Amino acid sequence: MSIELDILVIGAHPDDAEIGCGGTIAHYAKKGKKVGVLDLSNGEPTPFGTVEKRMAEAKAASEILGLAVRITLDMTNRYIENTIENRKKVAEVLRKYKPKILITHPPNDWHPDHVACHQIVNAAKFQAKLTKTESKHLEHYPKYVFYFDHSHLKDKNRKLDFLTDISDSLEEKISALKAYKTQFVDNKKHLRIFDYIKERAGYLGYQVGVKYAEGFINSEHLMVDFENLKI
């Protein structure tokens, strides 16, 4: 039997999960939660690095974040589509690892693969709860789906619904991103990502009285128990 996950973060490409919510991943992994990442593609084809290099970089990033599992599907970079076949592939992962919380791309992103990933994940969430399918795993329905605050989210009216405290894990987030050497270190035009990540985390953290925070979008109502608020 496979491990059951508390949180599964799903990105279109290797490094999306880290950019979107690497601090939250590392924070909850440190607390003993089982956190996994699913990449829909291995990033190929891309102008930077090779498949082998990128897989090694993703492995190094996974170790820094403390992931329980990282899965890579075979969708093609730049051509990811919300098809029945792709929904089924993601639904199989949901059935196998039974995550309670899903985190993925928001709907309004300029990269078509990210938008397709958003659609596939929501459709797969539905698909995974169905009975009488050809799947060898039992049905599963993740209770929550949240969308991360990705640097590709080019929305001037960007609105977040809640924040998580990543004061104890910003360092791991940045180290995990630096593990993608071919994308962010060798590629000088992407070097500013590290400043952006730190400044945005500081800006969001300041608003809630912590050093660093990450933001999320939630499309459904979220129940708040006053007894769990830090007051």
Residues found near Zn ion in the complex (CB under 5 A): 12-13, 16
Q: Burial, 58: exposed, middle or buried (Cβ in 10 Å; 0-12, 13-18, 19+)?
A: buried
Q: Which residue has its beta carbon closest to Zn ion? A: 13
3-state secondary structure of 31: coil
**Closest CB to Zn ion among residues 80, 210:** 80
**Closest CB to Zn ion among residues 46, 167:** 46
Q: In the beta sheet, which residues pair with residue 104?
A: 147
Whole-angstrom Cα distance, residue 89 to residue 198?
A: 34
**Closest CB to Zn ion among residues 96, 105:** 105
Whole-angstrom Cα distance, residue 216 to residue 104?
A: 10
Please state the closest distance from residue 103 (CB atom) to Zn ion, in A: 14
Please state the closest distance from residue 16 (CB atom) to Zn ion, in A: 4
Cα dihedral 141, 71, 222, 149, rounded to 10, equals -150
Please state the closest distance from residue 36 (CB atom) to Zn ion, in A: 18
**Closest CB to Zn ion among residues 53, 100:** 53
Please state the closest distance from residue 80 (CB atom) to Zn ion, in A: 9
**Closest CB to Zn ion among residues 5, 12:** 12
Strand pairing class (162-165; 213-218): antiparallel
Percentages helix, strand, coil for the chain (3-state, rounded to 5) are 40, 15, 40
Please state the closest distance from residue 114 (CB atom) to Zn ion, in A: 6
Strand pairing class (144-148; 213-218): antiparallel
Please state the closest distance from residue 214 (CB atom) to Zn ion, in A: 17
**Closest CB to Zn ion among residues 28, 180:** 180
